């Protein structure tokens, strides 16, 4: 279970795989200088509501991964998350779509492989 820490005070748990996808989408938006809302569902232990933060290029974010392995990224999930991040409602978690089938002579990362 990983943790996203916003401005040193707001802390939320996500599994490492989810957090890796969020990090990529958030990082892409921030590199472009784009600010946006990020909303997630709170755990039942703290009221089962939701939290929204304003993510901007000057905010302090920490991504804490507890596993040592970097999870495999799903390009379809990245696209789906980026779509929400670019909407008027801002970034929110959507279910992970199926991993796209690899192209002929390519691995799942899109790299050409020898036959």
By the 8 A CB rule, do 39 and 74 touch? no
CA torsion through residues 101, 70, 78, 114, sign? negative
Range 4-21 average pLDDT: 95
User: Of 80, 66, 78, 84, which is closest to residue 109 (Cα–Cα)?
Assistant: 78
How many separate domains does the chain show?
1
pLDDT at 37: 97
Domain that holds residue 27: 2-92
By the 8 A CB rule, do 77 and 90 touch? no
> How do strand 36-41 and strand 91-92 relate by DSSP bridges?
parallel
pLDDT at 104: 65
| Residue 81 counted as domain residue | yes
For 36-86, write each residue's pLDDT tens digit.
Answer: 999 999 888 877 899 999 999 999 999 999 988 899 999 999 999 999 999
Kindly tell me if the per-residue pLDDT of 93 is higher than 90: yes
Kindly tell me if the per-residue pLDDT of 106 is higher than 80: no
| Residue 106 counted as domain residue | no
């Amino acid at each position: 279970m990983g943790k996203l820490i916003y401005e040193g005070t707001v802390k939320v748990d996500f599994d490492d795989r989810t957090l890796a996808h969020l990090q990529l989408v958030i990082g892409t938006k921030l590199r472009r200088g784009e600010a946006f809302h990020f909303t997630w569902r709170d755990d039942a232990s703290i009221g089962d509501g939701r939290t929204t933060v304003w993510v901007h290029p000057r905010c302090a974010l920490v991504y804490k991964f507890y596993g040592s392995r970097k999870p495999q990224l799903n390009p379809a999930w990245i696209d789906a998350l980026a779509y929400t991040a670019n909407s008027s409602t801002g970034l929110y978690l959507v279910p992970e779509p199926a991993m796209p089938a690899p192209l002929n002579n390519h691995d799942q990362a899109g790299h050409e492989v020898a036959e």
